[in-house]
Amino acid sequence: MAWYVQTEVDGKRLVKALRGSNGQPITTKREAETARDAFMAPLTVADEAEVLESMAARLAGRKAELAKWQDQQHPPLPVTQAWLEFVASPNRPDTGGETLYQYECQWSLFTDWLKESHPEATALRDVTAEVAAEYAASARMQRYSANTYNKHRALLALVFSTVKDKARITSNPWETIRPKLLACASRRELTVDELKRVCQSASGELRVLLAIGLYSGMRLGDACTLRWCETDLTRGRMTVVPNKTARRHPDRVLHIPISPYLHRILSETPPEARGEYVMPGMAADYQKRIDAVTDKVQAHFKACGIKVHAPGTGKKGVRAVVEVGFHSLRHSFVSLCREANTPLSVVESLVGHSNPAMTRHYSHASELALNGAIAALPPMTEDAVTVETEAKAYDLGSVAAKVRVVCEHMEKKNWRECRAELLTLASEIEHGPVVSCTRIK
């Protein structure tokens, strides 16, 4: 008895005799079933592939219908609305107004480029990894410093991450963009000759601003928005919460003695003319647009013959790297204090420190040490003899208060330091306060 298999392929009947591996006809049912399965296997696989292809096509069609329905029910987030959604989102970082304004400017740079280069990308989800890579490689981004480039990239990634649910984004295209390696370039300090040229040729609020920066080491924002209520000319000190750490650490307060030279300049404003801000014009400019203040400072430095950009930058398409700016006064303040042999702990207490551990380490500088550090700064703004005479009268009135502070803080473990401070005060009473007017070499 012989066995056959019968099937239909493309509408045609196919009959095949089943034979064993030796080529002889199969005679048993078991052998016939095995041979049948081997013969039908390729045809079965082909059928399964067709079925799977059909199912995949139906699934893709169903997904497209579902996506279309979702778009109708919840339209994709337009690029033009993404920033408003980011600002309104409760999941975004608790950013200050000034930083948020800078973020908005950075976001606008990207959306302007996107509108010009990819007008078809109207929804945020249309920004693919390829589009992000193209923007990162664009001439606009390549002109940025590594630090600015990384901040801009981080801002774009932050916006996409914050509104991803609203925009129905499954992956963040900016996470595939690698940050650039940072090459830090800090502001240099000014020489004594440059400081005198800058300070002595300034006028109006700019003169006050530069004097505050030089004789207190304040950052630009703190100096521009300094209030009269934070400035006690009678006690001779300023009490400031740095803007840089105010949001995270509002309890970190700097108590900065007022230099006799700065005291003279601040006293030029009569009490009846003292409103909220020490420099109302500068405060308004800074709060409206920071560049309005930095441009004034930079223009004044240039007018004094100081090159504000690092050598070899700012020309022939090379990005300008700022080497001298208002922050240079902070560096100069620290340098002058150190050259006057002011202990590092005292300097750190004056300028503040963003590191909590360092803040705790530098929180023990005494009031007398702070006053001495400021008093040791050399004159940069006006005639030394006039100010020194006024400084003696100004400082002698506070000697008793200083003695009281030292005595109140005297303990068994610090009596030697307190004794040294009291002896210094005794010397002040006998010979007058030490106000160094020596030129710094």
Count CB atoms within 10 A of the CB of residue 104. 13
Would you say how long the chain is, in residues? 441
CA distance 273 to 51: 88
CA distance 328 to 403: 35
pLDDT reported for residue 55:
67
pLDDT reported for residue 206:
95
- Given 365, 385, 405, the domain boundary residue is 385
DSSP 8-state symbol, 24: S
Per-residue pLDDT at 386 exceeds 60: no
Mark whether 285 and 318 lie in a shared domain. Answer: yes
Residue 366's SS3 state is coil
pLDDT reported for residue 419:
82
Question: For residue 70, what are its two tokens?
Answer: 């979702």
Backbone angles phi and psi of 150, in degrees to 5: -65, -40
pLDDT reported for residue 437:
33
- Given 385, 406, 423, the domain boundary residue is 385
For residue 423, is it within any domain?
A: no
Mark whether 126 and 268 lie in a shared domain. Answer: no
Q: Alpha helices of 118-175 — where are they, by DSSP H?
A: 129-136, 139-142, 146-162, 164-167
Mark whether 232 and 372 lie in a shared domain. Answer: yes
CATH of residue 109? 1.10.150
Specify the amino acid at residue 440. Answer: I
Q: Alpha helices of 325-383 — where are they, by DSSP H?
A: 327-339, 344-351, 356-361, 367-375
For residue 125, is it within any domain?
A: yes
For residue 165, is it within any domain?
A: yes
For residue 415, is it within any domain?
A: no
Half-sphere exposure of 384 (CA within 13 A, CB side): 12
Q: Across-strand partners of 322?
A: 309
Mark whether 93 and 52 lie in a shared domain. Answer: no
Mark whether 339 and 250 lie in a shared domain. Answer: yes
Mean pLDDT, all residues of the chain: 79
For residue 62, is it within any domain?
A: yes
Per-residue pLDDT at 416 exceeds 60: yes
- Given 385, 414, 432, the domain boundary residue is 385
pTM attached to this predicted model: 0.56
For 196-217, what is the mean pLDDT? 92
In terms of residue numbers, what domain contains 291?
Answer: 192-385
* Helix or strand (DSSP H, E) at 15: strand 12-17
Question: Domain count of the chain?
Answer: 3
For residue 218, is it within any domain?
A: yes
Mark whether 240 and 285 lie in a shared domain. Answer: yes
Beta strand 12-17 with 231-232 is: unpaired
Question: For residue 4, what are its two tokens?
Answer: 């056959």
Q: Which range, 135-144, 313-322, 340-349, has the best average confidence (pLDDT)?
A: 135-144
For 365-384, what is the mean pLDDT? 61
- Tens digits of residue pLDDT in 46-85: 566 665 676 677 777 777 666 665 555 567 889 999 999 9
For residue 428, is it within any domain?
A: no
For 291-306, what is the mean pLDDT? 92
Mark whether 124 and 197 lie in a shared domain. Answer: no
Confidence of residue 271 (pLDDT cuts 50, 70, 90): very high
Q: Which of 79-83, 172-176, 384-388 has the lowest mean pLDDT?
A: 384-388
Per-residue pLDDT at 317 exceeds 70: no
Nearest to 106 by CA among 130, 139, 141, 134: 141
Mark whether 107 and 231 lie in a shared domain. Answer: no
- Tens digits of residue pLDDT in 425-441: 776 665 544 433 333 32
For residue 69, is it within any domain?
A: yes
Per-residue pLDDT at 304 exceeds 70: yes
- Tens digits of residue pLDDT in 116-169: 999 999 999 899 999 999 999 997 787 777 888 899 999 999 999 999 988 888
pLDDT reported for residue 436:
36
Mark whether 326 and 230 lie in a shared domain. Answer: yes
pLDDT reported for residue 113:
95
Mark whether 341 and 240 lie in a shared domain. Answer: yes
Asked if 209 and 219 count as a contact pair (C-beta separation under 8 A), the reply is no
For 214-243, what is the mean pLDDT? 91
Question: For residue 217, what are its two tokens?
Answer: 């080491």
Mark whether 344 and 249 lie in a shared domain. Answer: yes
CA distance 353 to 362: 8
DSSP 8-state symbol, 154: H
pLDDT reported for residue 116:
93
Mark whether 267 and 364 lie in a shared domain. Answer: yes
